[in-house]
Structure 1
């Protein structure tokens, strides 16, 4: 399977209160993904807290990800406020053995389409690896329009887009529109775990998954069944995860996934401040949701 297809699992990056990456804990997280056979790992995505880490600590995380070499393709998030900084991070990822890049147009000042185009082009040229555009307006406050995705898809190295779930149209309609604009080998995937079973059934190339980074077994099962075309079975499996989807929407997936990591014994690391962990009462809700999923009973490498 080619890069940016199938289940791309996005794990947390355990770190201490000063942003020092816990390589041992991250290694445990990554070992589970290898054991489950995910199609790729998205290191230093939003769930991986990339914007809360220094360049040196990002490199420490990528070096830990080197344990995936030859087993699972590694995609590395390289978003940064400045273009030169993002370009340097892209070179770091390439030099450390990454297989692909993920770029969100992070900014303080709202960006224009021309500014994002120039930013993405510079980072793609610096990294010289297949690059996935990260369309994440809830975090970056910038939305990639179909026109901009079309322009960027013609650039060297720009190979995919990671889309949010659409708010005002069906996934199938959005996919049809985008596929009519981009090269045939340009991959279109989705994030927003609660809608990604539908996205896979509609023909999306990838599920960029928070769940896959912490519970790769169930996420892989859904991906395989959805890609086989068995919509009824896939949606039934997805329905079992509804309590988790509700928690993701209510509290934000980052907070929930850290609570999940605590519950299954992977790490006691906390979300990067100023993000606060869930309250004890809300953590109980996470425990109950996990107990409702068959096979989630401890730090098994494949659950």
Structure 2
């Protein structure tokens, strides 16, 4: 489950009042048609931190119902451990095949507190867990030592690391060093769509992709190019650069929401307030990028 393209669809809302179920199901159908490896709901792109327990349960229920044979992973992050345990139970009851957890907190967490959180949650799980290393959102930075310790806990089956930096040789060295201390049963996946190719070429097992939750056909092609470059790969990589620049400048969720709105896949607006998709000149850049894509990649 934790290899290949692991997509993260939006959880679209209707005027900040309710989950837009028809639009969400439409996004799910795109994942099924592209045959992604796993669909992850209630990640950062899925606005999990803005949804209550009932809304989260609804999202997982509809995801499982429309995922066909593709496994669904559900985010269970929350500020209080008590609530994480409740959300984990809800996800398992709803049919999620795995859970994703980030160390969410208002007060800055210490490494021993994070380890204790994962230790307590994994004791109660009957499905695999992916460690969600997302320092840009949580403001917690995992050390490799902590990641290795967490990988030894029961049910931990994957670690999602942020975008790798530096040269390909440097990225390969980092991945090799970390994998050397992980159990064979624990995969290593990369996030940060703009640098996914580097991570995959460096030896990561999977791509945890924001854009994959919206344009999975395009991301399946990017994944194939990263693993086995073709003559067309350089042109495709160049075509992606305007979007990646927007990701780095504004954060991926605002950009992807703008793409979804421009394509008519969701209602406008689709994000929970106070968040907004890109507007004005930046939205025009998204529209120009969409118009530049080769035919077929927006389906």
TM-score by length of 1: 0.92
Q: For 1:241, what is the secondary structure of its paired residue? A: helix
Determine if contact 1:88/1:126 at 8 Å carries over to the other structure.
no
Matches within 5 A, 1:83-122: 83-122=81-120
Q: Which runs of 5+ in 1 are unaligned?
A: none
Determine if contact 1:9/1:209 at 8 Å carries over to the other structure.
yes
Determine if contact 1:8/1:40 at 8 Å carries over to the other structure.
yes
Q: For 1:281, what is the secondary structure of its paired residue? A: helix
Q: Which runs of 5+ in 2 are unaligned?
A: none
User: For the residues of structure 1 that align with 2:122 and 2:230, how far apart are their CA atoms?
Assistant: 36
Determine if contact 2:16/2:271 at 8 Å carries over to the other structure.
no
User: For the residues of structure 2 that align with 1:52 and 1:286, how far apart are their CA atoms?
Assistant: 25
User: For the residues of structure 2 that align with 1:189 and 1:283, how far apart are their CA atoms?
Assistant: 30
The more displaced of 137-146 and 167-176 is 167-176
Matches within 5 A, 1:213-232: 213-227=213-227, 229-230=228-229
Name the structure 2 match of 1:27: 25
Name the structure 2 match of 1:264: 263
Name the structure 1 match of 2:45: 47
Name the structure 2 match of 1:245: 244
Deviations 1:63-89 (A, max 9, x none): 110224542111111100001101111
> Are residues 105 and 26 of structure 1, via their aligned partners in 2, closer, same or farther at CA, if it must alter by over 3 Å?
same
Q: In the alignment, does 2:131 pair up with 1:133?
A: yes
Determine if contact 2:11/2:42 at 8 Å carries over to the other structure.
yes
TM-score by length of 2: 0.94
Name the structure 2 match of 1:37: 35
User: For the residues of structure 2 that align with 1:297 and 1:164, how far apart are their CA atoms?
Assistant: 25
Name the structure 2 match of 1:72: 70
Distance apart, 1:233 and its partner CA: 5.2
Name the structure 1 match of 2:200: 200
User: For the residues of structure 1 that align with 2:199 and 2:23, how far apart are their CA atoms?
Assistant: 32
Distance apart, 1:234 and its partner CA: 4.3
Name the structure 2 match of 1:183: 183
Distance apart, 1:221 and its partner CA: 1.0
Determine if contact 2:5/2:209 at 8 Å carries over to the other structure.
yes
